Amino acid sequence: MNGTVKEWLSKAEADYSTATRELKATESANFDAVCFHAQQCVEKLMKALLIHLGIIPPRTHDLGELDRLLAPVCAEWSWPVQDLRFLTRASVDFRYPGESADREDATESLQIATRMRARLRALLGLSI
3-state secondary structure the chain: CCHHHHHHHHHHHHHHHHHHHHHHCCCCCCHHHHHHHHHHHHHHHHHHHHHHCCCCCCCCCCHHHHHHHHHHHCCCCCCCHHHHHHHHHHHHHCCCCCCCCCHHHHHHHHHHHHHHHHHHHHHCCCCC
Kindly provide the b/e burial profile for residues 48-68, where b requires at least 16 CB atoms within 10 angstroms of the residue's own CB: bbbbbeebebeeeeebeebbe
Quick: pLDDT tens for 71-111: 999 999 999 999 999 999 998 899 889 999 999 999 999 99
pLDDT (0 to 100) of residue 109: 98
Cβ atoms of 74 and 125 within 8 Å: the answer is: no
pLDDT (0 to 100) of residue 117: 98
pLDDT (0 to 100) of residue 1: 85
pLDDT (0 to 100) of residue 128: 78
Q: Which domains does the chain have, with CATH numbers?
A: 3-123 (1.20.120.330)
User: pTM of the prediction?
Assistant: 0.96
Backbone angles phi, psi at 126, to 5 degrees: -110, 155
pLDDT (0 to 100) of residue 95: 86
Quick: pLDDT tens for 7-34: 999 999 999 999 999 999 999 999 999 9
Cβ atoms of 86 and 63 within 8 Å: the answer is: no
Quick: pLDDT tens for 27-78: 999 999 999 999 999 999 999 999 999 999 999 999 999 999 999 999 999 9
Closest CA to 110 of 30, 60, 39, 46: 39
